[in-house]
A and B are shown apart, each in its own frame.
Chain A
Amino acid sequence: MNCAEAAESVSALFDGEPISREAAAHLSDCEECRGRLNEYAEMGAEVRRMASAAAPQTILEGRWRLAEPASANNWLRKWRGTMRIPRLAFALMVFTLVALSTGLFLTRAKETPRWFQYELSGRDGKMIMSQTVPANPGGNPYYDGDVGMPYADGMVLFHMRVLEQVGETEKIGVRTLWVPRGDHSGFERVRNMPEREFLYSPGEDLKIPVDGYGNLEIKGHFESTLPESVRMGLYPEDGRFRIDPPVLLVRGKEMLMKGDMGGGNVIMDKSYFAYGDQDEGWYLFSAKPIPGAVEGTLTMNQIEFKLNGKQYFLFTGDPILFGQVRIWVKHFASIRDADPSSPGDGWQQNVPRLAYGELENLAGEK
């Protein structure tokens, strides 16, 4: 066998594929073929290096989220199939859910002791919308429900806030408006309508009269946890932190770090997560108090804390959890200082990274 005949086997050998006995015998003695093999290795390494450096730094949110799956048995189809809800109303509901999940929550949510799951029905008894909102949110506008339902003679508009828990009832604030056919200005106007307050008891059929339309009707109940059907991938499971890049750390008005790598999902009670780089050191976050740590607040996708008299904010690409919890933050020069069992900084470039580990492994915890 000569070099030309063995050349294809060099390529296969480089890929870890089996080659013929004759080719193997030739390659063992042939300097030219070994040179070719080395060149393939060099080219492969260069292509990989090129790929690493040119890899997309960020991936946009998938447009697939805007579409529903075609499968006949998916939750969305079932849900919509029973709702008879107009496209606009559905879009508004989706908007509400998206706002709940992705907004940078600069207003504070309160603790979420329970969830109010309700259905709104129209004058014909047909369901207009179904929504699950955190009860007693303290007036956070992200939790408001909005919907419009068209009829042959006009459109009824509905806006609702969950105000406060009163004993076993929930105080809700409702604005409504009936817009006769031909008037398209309703959605702006309904928010300016006077708000009526009702006390809602679980299981009750609450009738809400609307001038010119008839009665809307609310029926609902309370849940102690967010129903899985509502979670829909927007939030992590209860009891877990989910860190999705990009992650931004801001001190005052100064951007300290912005990283796009290393998202994770850990158990709150047992684990920590940390964010850092060589210049800024590491900020370690724990749901349990750590000696020497400062207490901060984790609200959806934002952590706020004060360290050495300066205000810090950490933002993530998706909610770390739903609602608000206290969180403890401690700064370390190196992740190994915090957790000796950590594989270490390990970077080749000084780019911000996320790290995760067990609380029991933290220095001073053993």
Chain B
Amino acid sequence: MADDRELWERICRGDARAFDALYRTHAPKLEGFLRQVLGGRQAAEDVMQETFMQIWQHPNGFEPERGSLSAYLFGAGRKRAAEWWRKQARTPENRGEKVQGELAEGTASFSAIGDAFARLAEEQRSLLWLREVEGQSYAELAEILRIPVGTVKSRLFAAREELRRIWHAPGGGARSEK
């Protein structure tokens, strides 16, 4: 956390080296996350770039006491993604078909979990991704999603159950019996 604070202070002073370090460390992870939220590589890359640009030009909002820099970036990226969707005049929930198609393209070689995962609502996908892939803590997830920690717990459970339900459903990408 001390490193996050120091890095952030340098970024706030306009230190390009510090920001470059931040970008190189977190940009791939953020883009990977945004692909899940937005369902497409190009959109994810654009939003990732916009997120970093915004932070570089207006570094504010990160409070080391409340969470890690990584959590802050995911939160900022998710907020940008929501704005992106608003500009598209669509909501993530209304684009299920597209998301599934594009995620399937990116995950064609994987097990049926990719298909089941793509059928989750955007918030459930984000939550599971941040928890399972990025290893964010409940407190960090609460910060990213702006919800209470207790809600993180119940929503994670709901997301897992929904993924499990889709996975087991007929035609829902259930596992093949071994």
Chain A contact residues, CB within 8 Å of chain B: 7-8, 10-12, 15, 17, 36, 39-40, 43-44, 46-51, 53-56, 59-60, 62-65, 67-71, 73-77, 232-233, 263
Do A11 and B111 touch (CB < 8 A)? no
Given the interface pairs A7-B157, A64-B53, A71-B12, the reply to whether A15 lies near B27 with Cβ below 8 Å is: no
Residue B153 contacts which of A8, A53, A56 (CB distance < 8 angstroms)? Answer: A8
Residue B13 contacts which of A7, A39, A73 (CB distance < 8 angstroms)? Answer: A73
Do B129 and A51 touch (CB < 8 A)? yes
Residue B157 contacts which of A12, A64, A233 (CB distance < 8 angstroms)? Answer: A12
Residue A47 contacts which of B13, B133, B138 (CB distance < 8 angstroms)? Answer: B133
Given the interface pairs A56-B31, A64-B52, the reply to whether A263 lies near B14 with Cβ below 8 Å is: no
Judge if B49 is at the interface, Cβ distance under 8 Å.
yes
Residue A75 contacts which of B14, B107, B114, B129 (CB distance < 8 angstroms)? Answer: B14
Chain B contacts of A49 at CB under 8 A?
A: 110-111
Known: A68-B14, A69-B56. 16 other contacts (CB 8 A): A7-B161, A43-B132, A46-B111, A50-B110, A50-B117, A54-B110, A56-B31, A56-B32, A64-B52, A67-B53, A67-B56, A69-B16, A71-B59, A233-B17, A233-B20, A263-B24
3 A-B pairs with least C-beta separation: A74-B14, A233-B17, A69-B14
Judge if B88 is at the interface, Cβ distance under 8 Å.
no
Do B27 and A62 touch (CB < 8 A)? yes
Report the separation of the CA atoms of residues A12 and B133 in the bound assembly, to the nearest whole angstrom.
Answer: 16
Judge if B94 is at the interface, Cβ distance under 8 Å.
no
Report the separation of the CA atoms of residues A68 and B56 in the bound assembly, to the nearest whole angstrom.
Answer: 8
Given the interface pairs A43-B167, A77-B14, the reply to whether A11 lies near B56 with Cβ below 8 Å is: no
Q: Which residue of B lies closest to A78 (CB)?
A: B14
24 contacts between A and B (CB under 8 A): A12-B153, A12-B157, A15-B138, A39-B164, A40-B164, A43-B163, A43-B164, A47-B128, A47-B132, A47-B133, A51-B129, A53-B109, A54-B32, A56-B32, A59-B31, A62-B20, A62-B52, A64-B49, A69-B19, A69-B56, A70-B59, A74-B14, A74-B15, A232-B17
Q: Which of B137-178 contact A (CB under 8 A)?
A: 138, 153-154, 156-157, 160-161, 163-164, 167
Judge if B84 is at the interface, Cβ distance under 8 Å.
no
Chain B contact residues, CB within 8 Å of chain A: 11-17, 19-20, 23-24, 27-28, 31-32, 35, 41, 45, 49, 52-53, 55-59, 106-107, 109-111, 113-114, 117, 128-129, 131-133, 138, 153-154, 156-157, 160-161, 163-164, 167
Do B160 and A11 touch (CB < 8 A)? yes
Do B113 and A43 touch (CB < 8 A)? yes
Report the separation of the CA atoms of residues A4 and B6 in the bound assembly, to the nearest whole angstrom.
Answer: 46
Task: Quote the shortest CB–CB distance from A22 to chain B (angstroms).
Answer: 16
Do B157 and A11 touch (CB < 8 A)? yes
Given the interface pairs A56-B32, A73-B14, the reply to whether A64 lies near B154 with Cβ below 8 Å is: no
Given the interface pairs A55-B32, A77-B14, the reply to whether A48 lies near B49 with Cβ below 8 Å is: no
Given the interface pairs A50-B110, A64-B19, the reply to whether A15 lies near B131 with Cβ below 8 Å is: yes
Q: Which residue of A lies closest to B163 (CB)?
A: A43
Chain B contacts of A71 at CB under 8 A?
A: 12-14, 59
Q: Which residue of A lies closest to B35 (CB)?
A: A54
Do B154 and A8 touch (CB < 8 A)? yes
Residue B156 contacts which of A15, A60, A69 (CB distance < 8 angstroms)? Answer: A15
Chain B contacts of A62 at CB under 8 A?
A: 20, 23, 27, 49, 52-53
Chain B contacts of A73 at CB under 8 A?
A: 13-14
Report the separation of the CA atoms of residues A263 and B23 in the bound assembly, to the nearest whole angstrom.
Answer: 14
Report the separation of the CA atoms of residues A44 and B134 in the bound assembly, to the nearest whole angstrom.
Answer: 11
Task: Quote the shortest CB–CB distance from A13 to chain B (angstroms).
Answer: 11
Residue A76 contacts which of B12, B14, B45, B160 (CB distance < 8 angstroms)? Answer: B14
